[in-house]
Amino acid sequence: MNKESKLGLGGHSFIEELGNDPHASFEEQCAIVAACLDNGIDLIDTTYYQERVALGHVLKRLGRQDEARIMAWNFFKHPGREHELVDYTPYEPQHLDLMLEELQTDAIDLLVIHAHDDTAKLREELALAQDWVQAGKVKQVALGMAQLGHLRQLPAVHPISAVLAPYNAFHREAKEMFEAAKSLGMDAIALSPFVRGWKLDEIGADKNTAAAILLRWVAAEPLVDHVVVSMRKAEWVHSNLRAVGEGPLTEAEIVQLQEWLAR
């Protein structure tokens, strides 16, 4: 059996809007997810509703629904805006069944609540998520785009067991929040190791080298339990796994990275 990887597959792999490359075809999406599951990457994120629908179809086609650990965020389909990436909406009781239907599953492994500053509303969402856990429809609950202030405002009893935030060599602001979360016994899940795919082009170096250095910078960080990266090509699953397997950056690679950061 494959050892569980620190890598998670990002949901933006299934949509075209946030990437450089053409949309991965359904066959390619199946190949990407199969390559992940075959190689110990079982944590699969879905942010926008379109990603839930896509992953539901892919896992059904592969017949591997039981192997994936699905993360899902509160970004929903809005009438008349089905083709747009619509911003998050705080959870309401009707949302979970819609999400399960889109994912074609009975339970969500890690339900992500998008953090915000309306504390009373956030507490309502936490209570709702707790009810869903008790009903067996959600296994764990996470706080996404979390900041330190959100952790400080959590009630004494809450269901949060993980936090998610963008964290990469260019944007390190989440570090303190991750440290606080870890001290509370939560997992730290870093998003977007490359910022976005276009950042790799902007760096201007060999793209494979740049991707490997940026990914290793995050993955070798002991504070980080998982790194979620979107991969629109099955071959990237292998190159990213190879990179993570190489471990921390060498002195020469750190110098190289610093040069990119200084530009």
Contact pick of 213, 231, 241, 244 for ligand NAP (by CB under 6 A): 231
41 in contact with ligand NAP (CB under 6 A): no
Paired tokens of 249: 């950056």
Residue 69 contacts ligand NAP per CB under 6 A = no
- The answer to whether the beta carbons of residues 78 and 113 sit under 8 Å apart is no
Q: Which of residues 190-209 bind ligand NAP (CB under 6 A)?
A: 191-197, 200, 207-208
Residue 236 C-beta: closest distance to ligand NAP, Å: 4
- Identify the residue among 7, 10, 58, 88 touching ligand NAP (CB under 6 A): 10
Binding to ligand NAP by residue 74, rule CB under 6 A? no
From 9-17, 57-65, 124-132, 175-183, span contacting ligand NAP (CB under 6 A)? 9-17
Q: Does 226 bind ligand NAP (CB under 6 A)?
A: no
Using CB under 6 A as the binding rule, whether residue 89 contacts ligand NAP is answered as: no
> Which one, of 202, 152, 146, lies nearest residue 173 by Cα?
146
Is there binding between residue 188 and ligand NAP (CB under 6 A)?
A: no
Q: Rounded distance, CA 67 to CA 65, Å? A: 6
CB 193 within 8 A of CB 229: yes
Residue whose pair of structure tokens reads 């994120």 in the numeric block: 45
Which among 14, 39, 5, 19 has a CA at the least distance from the CA of 215? 5
Contacts of 79 (CB under 8 A, 6+ apart): none
Give strand pairing partners of 168: 171
Q: Cα–Cα distance between 129 and 119 in angstroms, integer?
A: 15
* Stretch of 13-21, 85-93, 102-110, 149-157 contacting ligand NAP, by CB under 6 A: 13-21
| Cα separation, 187 vs 161, whole angstroms | 6
Return the sign of the alpha-carbon dihedral for residues 135, 136, 138, 141: positive
User: What is the SS3 assignment for 140?
Assistant: strand
Q: Is 228 in the site for ligand NAP (CB under 6 A)?
A: yes
Binding pattern for the stretch 140-169 against ligand NAP, x by CB under 6 A and - elsewhere = --------------------------x---
Q: Which stretch binds ligand NAP (CB under 6 A): 14-22, 31-39, 130-138, 249-257?
A: 14-22
Under the rule (CB under 6 A), what is the footprint of ligand NAP? Answer: 10-12, 18-21, 45, 47, 166, 191-197, 200, 207-208, 211, 228-232, 236, 239-240
